[in-house]
Amino acid sequence: ALAYRGIRMVIAASFSQTYKRNAFNNGLIVFECPDLVDALLVQYAAAIEADRLTIATDAEATVHFDRSVVAWKGATFAFAPLGVVPQRLIIAGGTEAQIKARLAGADS
């Protein structure tokens, strides 16, 4: 559903292992960055207190996978680097696409 809506990455304070594995299997980038989430909670506290379910902003963040940091509003927030298996799944577009590519390569 997220991919259908054009969402290619989700950053959260935490995920269950099942959610992360399912996301990677579907080619979706997910990673945990609790310090960024804390900063967002401070920045948008008024909207959160008003029980707004969606907060639209014009803020931009840059993810530097080579350094495992997110840059937002002049600050950087570290996250754990993605492992080799999740990287391969994401690059392939998910497990199904990875298997199709392997099968296509086996036929040639």
8 sits in which H/E element: none
Both tokens of 52, joined, read 């707004």
Predicted local confidence at residue 11, as pLDDT: 95
pLDDT tens per residue across span 36-90 = 999 998 998 888 778 777 888 888 999 999 999 999 999 999 999 999 999 999 9
Q: Please answer whether residues 42 and 49 qualify as being in contact, where contact means their C-beta atoms are separated by less than 8 angstroms.
A: no
**pLDDT (average), residues 10-31:** 95
DSSP readout, 39-77?
HHHHHTHHHHHTT-S-------EEEETTTTEEEETTEEE
> Which residues are within 8 A (CB) of 19 and not within 5 positions of it... i.e. 6 or more apart?
30
Per-residue pLDDT at 31 exceeds 80? yes
Residue 57: per-residue pLDDT: 84
